[in-house]
Amino acid sequence: MNLEGRRIWQVAAGDTNRSYGQLFTDWNVIAIGPGSYGPWPDCAEKMRNDGWTARKVGDIRRFYEIADGDIVVLRIGTNIILAVGIAEGPPSHTEAFGDVDGWDLQHVRRVRWLWHGFHQFPNAYTLDWGQTITPGLKPAAEEWLKALDLTEPTNPSPLPALPSPSPEINAEELDAYFADDGCDTETIHRLAQARAHVVSRHAWYNKVKHEPSEYETIAYLVLPLLKALGWPETHTAIEWCRIDVALFDTTIDASDTLRHDANLVAAIEVKRLNYSCLTAKDQAATYAQQAGREDCQRLIVTDGLRYAVHVRDEDGQFSYYPTAYLNLARLRDQYPIMKCQGARTALRLMRPEWGKSRAVR
């Protein structure tokens, strides 16, 4: 690749707990947050007043310094490159990326990716660390980039348009949906109470700057919601065969033969609060797809507040993007950038009754 006279930018695709590499390459973007303070430069003073560091404000400033035609190197960690591309057009501030697996990434810039894959340097610190946006490359990474055989299009077609954000739905709309779906008043009330409890508890954890363990997350955040959804304790197992929370067929009586592979209908992988739900899917899938667990059609990854709900496809696999995604603190009907449904479908898929019809809507 010809680098002469061109600026190069390293852009982190998340952190050690999450990777947005596939999301960014799928949509031809790079994105950075926090974006909830509004567009640059008006957001800078608001961020400082709210306690954000000068380094983070500087990250966003550098993001807006990336120019049309600059080279973008998408990295994860300090020695892995996921993609190389060319920045196109001006930056923007869009709510389409306002709720991405726990992060608000409304600062968005389009990138025409010329190469994406996985290249790992043997030296653990070939790339820079600490900042999301970094100008330039160290010599070893620059030499690799020069040797990359890439052809830049001379008359490229326009990049596909980004999706419009789905509007938020309020609690009353969600309650009405479940009423129409056949839920009784008591169940709807329990769900509303469980949602309020989890959101309140999450706010308290953030206020006191306490990160609960996975066990505490299960006890105080996950189990209250499962109980409200109708899962009996007898059909809910904690730490069962390496599955954080295993859910068993509720049409079978609670007996000595209940908790076996053949009766497993959903596997839940629980991460610590504010950790990624998308990144942990592969690990959880290995447990759900073991031989004898063919009726385990649902894989759920959660940090207690957010839920990524995957349903097996026709090939028996769980895709990267969930079937539905739920943020209990910010209810949305759809998540176009993750190509999935939102709160209504996610909660419906998590109910014990879903397994009887397996209809996704």
Q: Where are the beta strands (DSSP E) in 62-198?
A: 71-76, 80-93, 107-120, 133-135
Which has the minimum average pLDDT: 87-96, 122-131, 232-241? 122-131
Interval 37-84: pLDDT, tens: 999 999 999 999 999 999 999 999 999 999 999 999 999 999 999 999
pLDDT category of residue 361 using cuts at 50, 70 and 90: very low
Please tell me the distance from the alpha carbon of residue 244 to that of residue 114, in angstroms, as a whole number. Answer: 40
Burial class of residue 28 (count of CB atoms within 10 Å of its CB; 0-12, 13-18, 19+): middle
Interval 112-128: pLDDT, tens: 999 999 999 999 999 98
* Residues across the chain: 361
Burial class of residue 124 (count of CB atoms within 10 Å of its CB; 0-12, 13-18, 19+): exposed
Please tell me the distance from the alpha carbon of residue 205 to that of residue 356, in angstroms, as a whole number. Answer: 37
Which among 304, 158, 337 has a CA at the least distance from the CA of 226? 304
Alpha-helical segments (H) within the chain: 21-27, 42-49, 54-65, 139-147, 171-180, 185-207, 214-217, 223-229, 281-288, 343-350, 354-357
pLDDT at 184: 87
Average pLDDT score over the chain: 92
Q: Is 250's pLDDT higher than 70?
A: yes
Average pLDDT over residues 285-305: 93
pLDDT at 73: 97
Burial class of residue 256 (count of CB atoms within 10 Å of its CB; 0-12, 13-18, 19+): exposed
Query: pTM of this prediction?
Result: 0.89
Please tell me the distance from the alpha carbon of residue 307 to that of residue 350, in angstroms, as a whole number. Answer: 10
Grouping H, G, I as helix, E, B as strand and the rest as coil, residue 133 is strand
